[in-house]
Structure 1
Amino acid sequence: MEKKLQDFLSSNLLNKYLVGETSLEESNEVEHFISNYPEAAEAFDQLQDNLEIIAKAGAVTTPDHMLEDILESLKTPSDANAKVIEMVQHKKTTPWYSIAASAAAVLLAATTFMLYQKNLELNSENNVVVEEIFDLRSDIESNNAKLDALSRELLKLNNPDSRKYVINGNERAKDLKTVAYINSVEKTSMIDVITLPQLPEEQQYQIWAELQDRMVNLGILDESDRKLKQIPYMEDALALSIKIGTKGDTTNENDTEVAEISLKDK
C-alpha cells in the first residue's frame, strides 16, 4: 500500500485536481487518497497554499477610473452620442498561472517523495543498528558466561584442596599427556587433555578409575575437545588409567592400557 501512496504522490493528479482538470475517475482516486492518507491530505493542503501565494503575487488591482477613461477615449466629436457596447469578458486561467501551479505541484510531490524515501532509509538503518546492538549484547552475555565458567574452573584448580596429577603415556602412546585435578573436599574431578596420539577410526581413548574391587569407566577422551572436562568423582579410587578401546564399547576393562597414575601417593 505504501508503494501505491508513493506512486500517487509522484504523479500529477493532485495538481490536476486542484485546477479542475481531472476526470471523474481521477477525482475519485484523489479524494480517496486525501481521505485515507494524512500524507496525501498534507500534500494537497500545501499545494493549495502555494497556489494561493502565487495568485496573490500575480494579482494587480485595477484603478476605479480606468473603465471611464476607456469609454471616454472611444468617443469622437462626430459621434459624441454613439453608444459603446460593453463586452463582458469571461475569466480565464492564464497560461503562466497554470504552468506555475503545475511546477509547484511537481516540485512539492518530488520533495515529498524524496523525504519519504529518506525516512524509509533512515528507518531501515535504525533497524540494522538496533539488531547489531542486540547481537552485540548477546555476544557480551555469552562471553561473560564463558568467562564466569572459566573463572569458576580456575578457582577449582587453585583451590588448596585440589590435587594435580600429570598422566603421561607409556611405550604404547609416548606423546600422550593429560592432567587430572581432584578435590576430595568438594568431591570434584576434572581432566585437561594436553596431547593424544591419533587413533584408527574405530578406536577411542577412555579414562578409567581403579577401585579396590573393580574398574569404573569415567568417560571418553578426545583431543578435539582440548579443555578442562568434568569427570565423575570416585571417592575410593586408587588410580586413574587411560585405555584404548573400541568405539561404542565402554564396558571392556581389559582394553589396552596406555597410561596410569596412582592417587594414593600424594
Structure 2
Amino acid sequence: MTDKDTFLKSDLLERYLAGLTNTQENLEVESYINTFPEVKEAYHKLENKLELVALANAEEAPTHLLESILETLDHKPVVPLNNNRNKSWFTYGIAASIATLVFAGSSVYFYVQNQDLQDENQVIVDELFDLRSDIDQNNLRLEALSKEFSRLNNPETEKYILNGNGRAKNLKTIAYINPKDRTSLIDVVSLPLLPKDQEYQIWAELQDKQVNLGILTPSERRLQEIPYTKDALGLSITIEQKGIKPNKNTTDTPVAEIELKIED
C-alpha cells in the first residue's frame, strides 16, 4: 500500500467516483477512505464537486415520463439498490458533462471552419471576377488591334514614312491614309526629346494653306487617329512653342515632311 500523500496526489479518487477502477483499486480506495480522515474529506469534496457538475448539466424529465415510471413501479416488486448507485449516478453525470463540452467544442470548431470556408469562397469569387474583367479588357484590346490590323492591310490604305531631317535625326513616323474610307492613322515610331516648352505638331499641306492635325508626343508609341484632310498634298511635322496656337505665318520650318499621292 502506498502512503497517504502519494495516494492523494494520484487520480484514484477521481477514477473511483467515475466508476473507472477495478476491484483491487476499489478495495484500496475504500481502505484509505476508512483509514485516513484527510482522504475521506478529499473524497467528499470531490464527490460534491462532481455532483454540482452533474446537476448543472442534468435535464428535467418530462412529467408524463415520470408518471409512466411511477405507474410501472406500482406493479413491480421493489428491488434493493446496490451500494454503487451513487457511483453510477455520478458516472452518468460526468458522461453528460463531457458530452456537453464535446458538443460545444464541436459546434465552435464547425462554426470557425464554416467562416473560413465562406472567406475562401469570397476570395475565389473576387479572383474570378477580376479574371473575367481582365479577359473582357483583353478581348476589347484584341478587337481594337484586329480592326487596326485590317485597316493597315487594306489594299486602299497608303503608307507614308516621315523621317526627320538634321534638326531631328532620330524622328520617324508612319502615316496610313485611306482615301476611300476617309481615315488617317499615324504611328509614332520615335521622336527625339524636346525642351519642356516645345512640342511636335503634324500638319496637312493644302494648295493654299496648312491645316493643323494635332500634337505628337514621345510617350504615345502607338497608332493615333488624325483628321483626314481631303485634297492634302503632303504631311509635315514641326516643332512649336507650347501654349501658342500656331498659324501659317508663325509655323516653324518642318523637321520632317513628305508629299502625298492620293487621288480622291
Question: TM-score, structure 1 length as denominator?
Answer: 0.66
Answer with 123-132 or 253-262: which moved more. Answer: 253-262
Select the residue among 161, 167, 170 that pairs with 2:162: 167
User: Secondary structure of the residue that 1:217 maps to in structure 2?
Assistant: strand
Answer with 208-217 or 160-169: which moved more. Answer: 208-217
> Which residue of structure 2 lines up, in the alignment, with residue 198 of structure 1?
193
**Quick one: which amino acid aligns to residue 260 of structure 1?**
E
Identity %: 52
Contact 2:204/2:211 (8 A) holds in 1: yes
CA distance in 2, matches of 1:209, 1:16: 99
What is the CA distance between 1:96 and its match in structure 2? 1.9
**Quick one: which amino acid aligns to residue 160 of structure 2?**
Y
Gaps of 5+ in 2: 1-53, 62-75
What is the CA distance between 1:92 and its match in structure 2? 10
CA distance in 1, matches of 2:56, 2:186: 83
Select the residue among 58, 68, 71 that pairs with 1:19: 58
CA distance in 2, matches of 1:66, 1:228: 103
**1:141-220 matched pairs, under 5 angstroms:** 141-220=136-215
For the pair 1:133 / 2:128, whether they are aligned, the reply is: yes
What is the CA distance between 1:255 and its match in structure 2? 2.0
User: Secondary structure of the residue that 1:257 maps to in structure 2?
Assistant: coil
User: Secondary structure of the residue that 1:94 maps to in structure 2?
Assistant: helix
CA distance in 2, matches of 1:66, 1:222: 107
For the pair 1:257 / 2:254, whether they are aligned, the reply is: yes
Select the residue among 102, 107, 116 that pairs with 1:107: 102
What is the CA distance between 1:214 and its match in structure 2? 1.2
CA distance in 2, matches of 1:171, 1:66: 123
Aligned length in residues: 191
What is the CA distance between 1:228 and its match in structure 2? 0.6
CA distance in 2, matches of 1:215, 1:231: 15
CA distance in 1, matches of 2:159, 2:175: 6
Question: Structure 1: which 4+ aligned runs deviate by more than 6 Å?
Answer: 90-93
What is the CA distance between 1:250 and its match in structure 2? 3.5
Q: Give the CA RMSD over aligned residues.
A: 2.7
Residues 83-106 of structure 1: per-residue CA shift (max 9 Å, x gap): xxxxxxx99983222211111000
What is the CA distance between 1:150 and its match in structure 2? 0.4
Residues 8-29 of structure 1: per-residue CA shift (max 9 Å, x gap): xxxxxxx9764269xxxxxxxx
Residues 102-138 of structure 1: per-residue CA shift (max 9 Å, x gap): 1100001101110111011111100110111111111
CA distance in 1, matches of 2:144, 2:192: 28
Question: TM-score, structure 2 length as denominator?
Answer: 0.66
User: Secondary structure of the residue that 2:100 maps to in structure 1?
Assistant: helix
User: Secondary structure of the residue that 2:254 maps to in structure 1?
Assistant: strand
Gaps of 5+ in 1: 1-14, 22-47, 49-62, 71-89
CA distance in 1, matches of 2:219, 2:259: 26
Pick closer, same or farther for the CA change 1:19–1:93 going to 2, 3 Å: farther
